[in-house]
Amino acid sequence: MPVIIGTAGHIDHGKTSLIRALTGQDTDRLKEEKERGISIDLGFAFFDAPGGERAGIVDVPGHERFIRNMLAGAHGMDLVLFTVAADDGVMPQTEEHLDILHLLGVRRGVFVITKSDLVDGARLAAVREEIEVLTLDTTLEGAPIVPVSTLTGEGLEALRGEIGALLAASPGPPPPGYFRLPVDRAFVIHGHGVVVTGTAIAGAVEQGGTVRVLPGNETARVRSLEVHGVPVPRAGHGQRVAMNLVGVERTDLGRGHVVCDPRLLRLTERFDGHVQIRPAARRPVTSHARVRLHIGTAEVMAKLVILGGGQLVPRASGWAQLVLTEPVLALRGD
């Protein structure tokens, strides 16, 4: 089954440098990113494993100001490369990114101790212990930990082996469902028209088929499909997909929209869900609190109504209803 690899980790802990060392591809595509030396938006690449599998890569920013971009990239992640710099150790966004991945249920990954050439063996052992303690009682508890230097190349082959082993351990067939692709980019190519990209989270789509764009309820035809830059007649769950659409304008869609099967029509402005409060939360969450909902690549303001009233303290969980300021496409299990 196709797999999406994502990155996670604190700013300047070497996520983009690691992807460049593994793939030879630079995921920083914006001028500002290259000038400032930090990732601001999502970056994309692919990884060819020793066993022949090709996996898509989504490289996310680590700065706390760009957490919404990190969330937009994390929604379709099957496997994570989680970087922790050897000189810094665990930092605030290390903890925040781990909380997010735990809430999303990401269970496969490798912790990469980057910049290993800067420290001695005792420091590497200390950082390894920090990671092991931090991940206790999370979905990534027990994940392999590999020290790596992108400067000397030390540890890269061991890391490739760990990634290959995780990719070879297939999680089984993709879940059933209608095609859905939360859009993370939309642009126009002269002579071709509107192109959208995203991670397909369910179902499949074929060249020449019809899709719907939500919200907006626009109908479009799929002129062509690409996966990792290669034209394909069909694409689906677990793949990074680029779609050339006919019948819509660039202004009709962007990040936060969903390209989906035409049979998916119903948007909602309220739904019930199980809510878990981060351990690092500074205060309890009370009923009717205003929150930001991140679903797919969308970000929507909402009111959180705790079923039964009361409040949820850090580490607690319970059922609540989310009342949104604008409609989204939300299905059971999202």
Mention every residue, 6+ apart, whose C-beta is less than 8 A from residue 176.
Answer: 202, 203
The domain over range 180-260 is classified in CATH as 3.40.50.1820: no
The answer to whether residues 130 and 89 touch, using CB atoms and an 8 Å cutoff, is yes
On the question of pLDDT at 31 being above 70, the answer is no
pLDDT at 67: 77
pLDDT of residue 318 exceeding 60, the answer is yes
At residue 12 the predicted structure's pLDDT band, cuts being 50, 70 and 90, is confident
Q: Does position 41 have pLDDT exceeding 70, yes or no?
A: no
Pairing of strands 108-114, 79-85: parallel
Give the model confidence (pLDDT) of 143-202 as tens digits.
999 999 999 999 999 999 999 999 888 666 666 789 999 998 899 988 888 999 999 999
Closest CA to 313 of 283, 268, 274, 272: 283
Please report which confidence band the pLDDT of residue 301 belongs to, taking 50, 70 and 90 as the band edges: very high
C-alpha distances in angstroms, 56 versus 47, 73, 293? 6, 12, 26
Contact 223, 160 (CB under 8 A): no
Instruction: List pLDDT tens digits, range 104-144.
Output: 889 999 999 999 999 999 999 999 999 999 999 999 999 99
* 8 Å CB contact between 3 and 15: no
**CA nearest to 136, candidates 15, 279, 14, 4:** 279
β-pair partners for 107: none
Higher pLDDT, 11 or 149: 149
What are the beta bridge partners of residue 272?
321
Stronger pLDDT, 19 or 67, i.e. the higher one: 19
Q: Which of 3.40.50.300, 1.20.1440.230, 3.40.50.620, 3.40.190.10 would CATH assign to domain 4-168?
A: 3.40.50.300
- Residues near 75 by Cβ (< 8 Å), separated by ≥ 6? 104, 182, 199, 201, 294, 295, 296, 297
Q: What pLDDT does 39 receive?
A: 58
pLDDT at 203 exceeding the cut of 60: yes
Cis amide linkage into residue 215, ω under 30° from 0? yes
* E-only strand ranges, 60-173: 79-85, 108-114, 145-147
pLDDT at 54: 83
Which candidate, 120, 109, 100, places its Cα nearest to that of 145? 109
Averaged confidence pLDDT in the chain: 89
Q: How confident is the model at residue 279 (pLDDT cuts 50, 70, 90)?
A: confident
Q: For residues 30 and 237, which has the higher predicted lDDT (pLDDT)?
A: 237
- Helices and strands, number each (H, E), in the chain: 6, 21
pLDDT for 252 equals 84
Query: Where are the CATH 3.40.50.300 domain residues in the chain?
Result: 4-168
* Residue spans in the chain of domains classed CATH 2.40.30.10: 180-260
Measured CA to CA, the distance from residue 226 to residue 217 in angstroms comes to 24
